[in-house]
A and B are shown apart, each in its own frame.
Chain A
Amino acid sequence: MKLSRRHVLQGLGGAMLGLPVLEGLLPRKAQAAEAGALPFAIFLRQADGVAAAQSTSELGNEPERFWPEPLGNLSTTTLAGKSLVELADHRARLLVVRNVNMKDYNYGDGHARGAIQCLTARGPAVEGVGGDSEASGESLDHRIGRELNPQKRDSLYLYAGQAGGWLGGPCISHRGSATRRAALHDPWLAYQTMVGGPGGLTPEAREQLLVRQKSLNDLVSGQLKALQSRPELSSTDRQRLDLHLSNVRDLEVALSCRARADEELRLQQQAPGYNSTDGDEVLATVRLHMDIAVLAVACGTTRSVAIQVGNGNDSATRYRDPTTGQLMENFHYISHRRTSHDASGGIIAGSDVLHSRVDAQFAQTFNYLLDRLAAYTLPDGKKLVDQGVSVWFNDLGNGPAHSARHIPFILAGSCNGYLKQGVAVTAAGGNANPNLNKMLNTIGTAVGLKNAAGGALDDFGDPTLPKGLLTELLA
């Protein structure tokens, strides 16, 4: 991908970012991967289910506070009283998908089952080990980067919330079986990784850096290749060296895409609060990550970004109750409706309402992402948000029951007209069979992934699951 030409894109509130023209902004076709503007996917993962209608032993019958009622065309009326109303301004570009169902693999823990399956559509590498679980295959965000990113750069995998915790913290992105990816936690580090070098350089200093790094890269590449040529190395040794070598590259492309100096300063100044349990700080970090994600997809440095909020069960973050101004119990407790990570704690009164208020804060944060994407007008007059798809999803259907059914998938942006807009649909006609793999196939195809035969991606995830897409989501 050549990024030699530059163009200034209009950002939100008059903010101007010097961004390169995306290559070949051709008239779009209503077919994924053939559109001129390269589509992308930005994933936002929320844990612990949503405040959907359910009956719990703790609180009895809880009313619907999440899904639109009725499903169908989205309007302020169908969204009223639901957390999704926070997205009302973008309802025309939303695709709300109900009845996405995970397979009830034996992960030994509902959160592990959800968090590790959510982007892989696979069972565990080793069954029944709960918090020690690993995926048995690659996640979709990584596959998009591996196949579609320029220079096959890693897709961005970003994390917000306190480090560590259940499932070790970052746990949704995987290179392959039992090979988990490291997430970028500090937004300033994420930014520097995205642009491929230190921030804050003058153009002259950047040029000097490129010259020096070329010489150093030659040395490092030679040493890595010499190591790789040693016949005694094992396959896992080679894989690690391959990964390293793949990142020893010319920085010129990446360094050509940067935020404005004052934007860089904002990232530096606000980033130190990223390792927090305070929900306000956690969501502020998410927004910084979103700024980086938007810049990255606008520049075309990645076609995929995954943002994970909280650890495997988001057990550290305490979101703020906007009605009282107080921090709630940690989100995992709220979702369990009890003051414990299991069923032994006391019942939290009104925790279903509190859960919906957390959902609403996620909706507001997702709305921020959509606003940022929509603020970028492309040279053809269209919006960046419609060029790709932004996906706010969960890894459970609800809290106490840890349901693998009705996993929320809220999509925004049509991927150049490939996906439906403005509606809430029931996937697979309400059939309860696992279909998460088809949901991921649909997103993957929308972004441009193909199957081995060159057709639409229809075989991502567990090969034992029925192949295909959720065609009811296509425009």
Chain B
Amino acid sequence: MARRRRWKSSALLAASLSFLSACEGQISDAANPRNPGPGGTNNPPPAGVEQPARSVRVARLTHAQWVASVKDLLKLDAAPTTLAQSFRADPSQSGFLFDNDARALSVDEALWGAYQRAAADLAGQVATDATKLGKLLPAGSTTDETRAKAFVESFGLRALRRPLTADEVEAYLVLYRQGPKAYPTMAAFQGGLRMVLEGFLQSPLFLYRVERSTQAADGKVPLDAFEVASRLSYSLWNSMPDDALFAAAREGLLAKREGVAAEARRMMADPRARDVVDAYHQAVFDVPRYASIRPNTTRFPNVTAKLSESAAKENTLFVQDVVFGRKGRFADLLTSRDTFVNDELARIYGLTGTFTADFVPVALDGAQRRGVLTQVGFLASHATSVDPDPIHRGVFLSEHLLCQKIGAPPANIPALPAPNGRTNREVVSSHTEAPGTVCASCHATLINPLGFPFENFDAVGGYRTTDNGHPVDAASTPGIGGQKVSVKDALDMADALANAQAVHECYARHWVEFLSGRPVAEEDGALVARLGKLSQAGQLPIVDLVVEVVTGVGFVNRHPEELP
């Protein structure tokens, strides 16, 4: 079986050796399957040294980034979301959790045509509206030509996210001068600027984030200040830099870690960071899967069709509250019983009192609930229409929280047998853990022990103490961070996960991938290990963890070699 080259932290390596030989469950260096190591040698990087990983030099904006960038660039009141809906969806990039893997973002004929149409539409909107155009025109010029030049320079800086060269300014002025011919019914100045606007919005230097720095020093290539600014803004806001960030770049403040950190903290306090934090956790907690919640209406007659929507909203409110409201840590996401509910969720959680369709903050029963894994969204989206699904609950924990991918099951798996008076756990165990079977090699040691602690929760996430007339057995001994850990239920499990450095490393690893727009690589190991350790020790609120990533050596520098 061909295998991708893989990277493992020491803790995960131990876990892999213990449990995963037959389950294909490891962290892959998918960014660089032929990675020869830093400096082009086959030597591994020095342990504990943080350094940049190989990355693309031209990263196309994601559709969300395009929308936000255009809104900010043109200073529009509303985001041009409708225009972006005409962009074809980017293809799935298998194995990458997020939608911003720069290797998969290309411009094919369909997208190019849509970009062209959107550019024409937007340029028309702005150039024919004196108020909109006025927001973009610098003051102080006299002739049309000088005004146009000033516009190209100021707008160009923001569109291309760096100062334009003299040649680039002239190229856009050539376009400006074609205005009367291109738009004969418009005033020459406005028609010319319309052409310029179209040109900027179609420019590859706008559509791609381009990193041109090449001078290596100490085994890495420092990014210039404007490149750092773009990395920051697209990581933390999914949009272009604002004026303050451009100023920081221009004034040399981003050349030092303190300057980058100051900007990062400012940006994390901006509302735009909330959407980015939410997008990250939506992927890590697989919130899109909540849409598949469809419990059997005979078994759960009180559940409405809006349960999945409610569960997704709870997740967003919970994450925002922990990250920004409480300045919380990752462990809080795993263990907090404070969340938000509406009437339907309150009913499932067994809360007393009066609830409506509006969400309100509550504290769940500490004897039953602890953290995001005991909330309705995770539990109900990992269930059949009638029963909890410990297999997929276990697979989720392994892949999303432990960063241990599990190989696909063989085809043509025989059906789960009828319960015949047994519990759900007994049925799953008998079917998947028979000694010597191919199923047992993954299920008995890895998957099921991670899923069984949640057997106290039914198919919609309601708490239960009996199953099919028998007491629920939620005790288990899952492998977490290279250790077999005995837990008696999901509450124990939440604590065990929150205490495991490997889980914190996995969370940090996801952040590195998300903020960098690439799969994790060997070079990220030291940073991931450091952040995992700090997070596990309770010393790193999530906002601070993000700041640590974007102020790291790997974020403000390029690897001296290119991604193949």
Interface residue ranges, A against B (CB under 8 Å): 57, 106-110, 112-113, 126-134, 153-154, 163-164, 167-171, 178, 180-186, 189-190, 192-193, 196-198, 208-209, 211-213, 215-216, 219-220, 222-224, 227, 230, 232-237, 240-241, 243-244, 247-248, 338-340, 342-345, 400-402
Residue of A nearest to B182 (CB): A212
Find out whether the CB atom of B95 lies under 8 angstroms from the CB atom of A132: yes
Find out whether the CB atom of A237 lies under 8 angstroms from the CB atom of B114: no
Q: Report 22 cross-chain contacts, Cβ distance below 8 Å, ordered by A residue.
A: A57-B414, A108-B408, A126-B2, A134-B94, A154-B108, A154-B110, A168-B91, A170-B91, A184-B110, A192-B113, A198-B120, A215-B178, A215-B195, A222-B171, A224-B204, A233-B57, A236-B564, A240-B56, A240-B107, A243-B106, A247-B108, A344-B415
Interface residues of B in 175-215 (CB under 8 A from A): 175, 178, 181-183, 195, 198-199, 202-205, 208, 210, 212, 214
Query: What chain A residues lie within 8 Å of B198 (beta carbons)?
Result: 212, 216
Query: What chain B residues lie within 8 Å of A184 (beta carbons)?
Result: 88, 110
Known contacts A184-B88, A216-B202, A219-B199; decide if A127 and B1 are in contact (CB<8 Å).
yes
Instruction: Among B88, B120, B205, B415, point to the contact of A183 (Cβ < 8 A).
Output: B88
Query: What chain B residues lie within 8 Å of A185 (beta carbons)?
Result: 88-89
Tell me if B354 is interfacial: C-beta within 8 Å of chain A: no
The 0/1 profile, CB within 8 Å of A marked 1, for residues 10-48 of chain B is 000000000000001000000000000000000000000
Tell me if B537 is interfacial: C-beta within 8 Å of chain A: no
Query: What chain A residues lie within 8 Å of B172 (beta carbons)?
Result: 219
The 0/1 profile, CB within 8 Å of A marked 1, for residues 281-294 of chain B is 00000001000000
Interface residues of B in 321-370 (CB under 8 A from A): none
Find out whether the CB atom of A234 lies under 8 angstroms from the CB atom of B182: no
A139 to chain B, nearest CB (A): 13
Find out whether the CB atom of B110 lies under 8 angstroms from the CB atom of A189: yes
Find out whether the CB atom of A196 lies under 8 angstroms from the CB atom of B113: yes
The 0/1 profile, CB within 8 Å of A marked 1, for residues 89-128 of chain B is 1111111000000011111111111101100100000000
Find out whether the CB atom of B1 lies under 8 angstroms from the CB atom of A128: yes
| Residue from A113, A180, A342 whose CB has the most chain B CB atoms within 10 Å | A342
Query: What chain A residues lie within 8 Å of B415 (beta carbons)?
Result: 57, 338, 342-344
The 0/1 profile, CB within 8 Å of A marked 1, for residues 510-531 of chain B is 0000000000000000000000
Query: What chain A residues lie within 8 Å of B178 (beta carbons)?
Result: 215
Find out whether the CB atom of B4 lies under 8 angstroms from the CB atom of A233: no
Find out whether the CB atom of A211 lies under 8 angstroms from the CB atom of B408: no
Residue of B nearest to A168 (CB): B92
Residue of B nearest to A224 (CB): B204
Find out whether the CB atom of B203 lies under 8 angstroms from the CB atom of A220: yes
Query: What chain A residues lie within 8 Å of B86 (beta carbons)?
Result: 186, 189
Tell me if B385 is interfacial: C-beta within 8 Å of chain A: yes
B32 to chain A, nearest CB (A): 11
A192 to chain B, nearest CB (A): 6
Interface residues of B in 144-182 (CB under 8 A from A): 171-172, 174-175, 178, 181-182
Find out whether the CB atom of B92 lies under 8 angstroms from the CB atom of A171: yes
Tell me if B563 is interfacial: C-beta within 8 Å of chain A: yes
Find out whether the CB atom of A182 lies under 8 angstroms from the CB atom of B407: no
Give Cα A114 to B111, complex, Å.
28
Find out whether the CB atom of A167 lies under 8 angstroms from the CB atom of B92: yes
Interface residues of B in 378-396 (CB under 8 A from A): 384-385
Find out whether the CB atom of A110 lies under 8 angstroms from the CB atom of B411: yes
Find out whether the CB atom of A189 lies under 8 angstroms from the CB atom of B408: no
Tell me if B534 is interfacial: C-beta within 8 Å of chain A: no
Tell me if B435 is interfacial: C-beta within 8 Å of chain A: no
Tell me if B416 is interfacial: C-beta within 8 Å of chain A: yes
Query: What chain B residues lie within 8 Å of A212 (beta carbons)?
Result: 120, 182-183, 195, 198
Query: What chain A residues lie within 8 Å of B174 (beta carbons)?
Result: 219
Instruction: Among B212, B384, B411, point to the contact of A344 (Cβ < 8 A).
Output: B384
Query: What chain A residues lie within 8 Å of B105 (beta carbons)?
Result: 240
Residue of A nearest to B28 (CB): A126
Give Cα A248 to B111, complex, Å.
11
Find out whether the CB atom of A234 lies under 8 angstroms from the CB atom of B563: yes
Find out whether the CB atom of B108 lies under 8 angstroms from the CB atom of A234: no
A105 to chain B, nearest CB (A): 11
Query: What chain B residues lie within 8 Å of A342 (beta carbons)?
Result: 413, 415
A292 to chain B, nearest CB (A): 12
| Residue from B95, B414, B415 whose CB has the most chain A CB atoms within 10 Å | B415
Tell me if B469 is interfacial: C-beta within 8 Å of chain A: no
Query: What chain A residues lie within 8 Å of B414 (beta carbons)?
Result: 57, 343
Find out whether the CB atom of B117 lies under 8 angstroms from the CB atom of A193: no
Known contacts A127-B1, A198-B117; decide if A132 and B203 are in contact (CB<8 Å).
no
Query: What chain A residues lie within 8 Å of B111 (beta carbons)?
Result: 182
Give Cα A127 to B214, complex, Å.
37
Residue of A nearest to B116 (CB): A213
Give Cα A189 to B414, complex, Å.
43
Instruction: Among A131, A208, A244, point to the contact of B182 (Cβ < 8 A).
Output: A208
Find out whether the CB atom of B2 lies under 8 angstroms from the CB atom of A127: yes
Known contacts A130-B409, A241-B58; decide if A193 and B92 are in contact (CB<8 Å).
no
Tell me if B142 is interfacial: C-beta within 8 Å of chain A: no
A288 to chain B, nearest CB (A): 16
| Residue from A153, A178, A340, A402 whose CB has the most chain B CB atoms within 10 Å | A178
Give Cα A193 to B111, complex, Å.
8
Find out whether the CB atom of A236 lies under 8 angstroms from the CB atom of B91: no
Tell me if B562 is interfacial: C-beta within 8 Å of chain A: yes
Query: What chain B residues lie within 8 Å of A189 (beta carbons)?
Result: 86, 88, 110, 114
Give Cα A189 to B385, complex, Å.
37
Give Cα A420 to B86, complex, Å.
41
A146 to chain B, nearest CB (A): 12
A211 to chain B, nearest CB (A): 7
Find out whether the CB atom of A182 lies under 8 angstroms from the CB atom of B91: yes
Interface residues of B in 388-423 (CB under 8 A from A): 405, 407-416
A165 to chain B, nearest CB (A): 10
Known contacts A211-B182, A223-B203; decide if A402 and B195 are in contact (CB<8 Å).
no
Give Cα A402 to B413, complex, Å.
11
Query: What chain A residues lie within 8 Å of B208 (beta carbons)?
Result: 227
Query: What chain A residues lie within 8 Å of B4 (beta carbons)?
Result: 126
Find out whether the CB atom of B109 lies under 8 angstroms from the CB atom of A193: yes
Residue of B nearest to A401 (CB): B412
Query: What chain A residues lie within 8 Å of B443 (beta carbons)?
Result: none
Give Cα A154 to B88, complex, Å.
14
Known contacts A130-B409, A132-B95; decide if A182 and B171 are in contact (CB<8 Å).
no
Find out whether the CB atom of B408 lies under 8 angstroms from the CB atom of A129: yes
Find out whether the CB atom of B413 lies under 8 angstroms from the CB atom of A343: yes
Find out whether the CB atom of A197 lies under 8 angstroms from the CB atom of B384: no
Find out whether the CB atom of A219 lies under 8 angstroms from the CB atom of B171: yes
Query: What chain A residues lie within 8 Å of B212 (beta carbons)?
Result: 230, 232
Find out whether the CB atom of A233 lies under 8 angstroms from the CB atom of B204: no
Query: What chain A residues lie within 8 Å of B104 (beta carbons)?
Result: 180
Query: What chain B residues lie within 8 Å of A164 (beta carbons)?
Result: 288
Find out whether the CB atom of A215 lies under 8 angstroms from the CB atom of B413: no
Tell me if B504 is interfacial: C-beta within 8 Å of chain A: no
A436 to chain B, nearest CB (A): 17
Taking A211-B181, A232-B562, A234-B564 as known contacts, 7 extra A-B pairs with beta carbons closer than 8 A to each other, sorted by chain A number, are: A109-B411, A169-B92, A180-B94, A184-B88, A216-B199, A220-B203, A232-B57
Find out whether the CB atom of B412 lies under 8 angstroms from the CB atom of A110: yes
Tell me if B60 is interfacial: C-beta within 8 Å of chain A: yes
Known contacts A184-B110, A219-B203, A248-B112; decide if A227 and B58 are in contact (CB<8 Å).
yes
Residue of B nearest to A129 (CB): B408
B287 to chain A, nearest CB (A): 13
Give Cα A343 to B183, complex, Å.
63
Give Cα A396 to B56, complex, Å.
38
Query: What chain B residues lie within 8 Å of A209 (beta carbons)?
Result: 120
Query: What chain B residues lie within 8 Å of A171 (beta carbons)?
Result: 92
Across the A-B interface, the 6 shortest Cβ-Cβ residue pairs? A168-B92, A130-B408, A108-B408, A234-B562, A343-B415, A244-B107
Instruction: Among B60, B210, B385, B410, point to the contact of A227 (Cβ < 8 A).
Output: B210
Find out whether the CB atom of A109 lies under 8 angstroms from the CB atom of B88: no
Find out whether the CB atom of B60 lies under 8 angstroms from the CB atom of A240: yes
Instruction: Among B3, B103, B183, B204, point to the contact of A220 (Cβ < 8 A).
Output: B204
